Amino acid sequence: MTGRAAGAPGLVAAAFLAALAGPAAAQTPPPEFFAGLYARIGRAAGAEPALLDDLVRIAPGPGGGLELRVCQPEGAPGAAPLVLHFTRFGDVTNLLQGGSGAEQLFCQFFTDLNNDPILVCSSAGARFTLTADPARAAEAGPGACG
């Protein structure tokens, strides 16, 4: 008897293989997970930033991305949808990016205790948070969110 546990070589081999495998790949939620109505609270871009307190609808977008549409009448400034795509920065995988130039938007997504999405976003001067808020659906009005 050598004094070692009978399963020790197997445990060492399993630990060695686990170390070689590295960290598990993070999975991003499907675009449908984000679909719904969100309250947008924050600050708009511009020389004199204004308070943002409105609604945004998120829907699955082209290419597996997310389409954001501010709840405004069709043709109003800022009513055009913006498509965000999943991206990563090093080990950070909960990122979204869309647009270009002054319209470029970056968001990091999380979930709250109810597993509802929260997006923290920034662009050139604008900073806001999107939180799921289906209770405010009546404020959106028919057709205001596309």
pLDDT tens digits, 112-132 = 999 999 999 999 889 999 999
User: How far apart, in whole angstroms, are the C-alpha atoms of residue 94 and residue 110?
Assistant: 7
Predicted structure pTM score: 0.75
Each residue's pLDDT tens digit, 14-49:
443 334 333 444 578 999 999 999 999 999 988 888
Domain topology for 31-140 = Lipocalin (2.40.128)
Task: Look at residues 132, 139, 145 and name the one whose alpha carbon lies nearest to residue 38.
Answer: 132
Domain map of the chain by residue range?
31-140
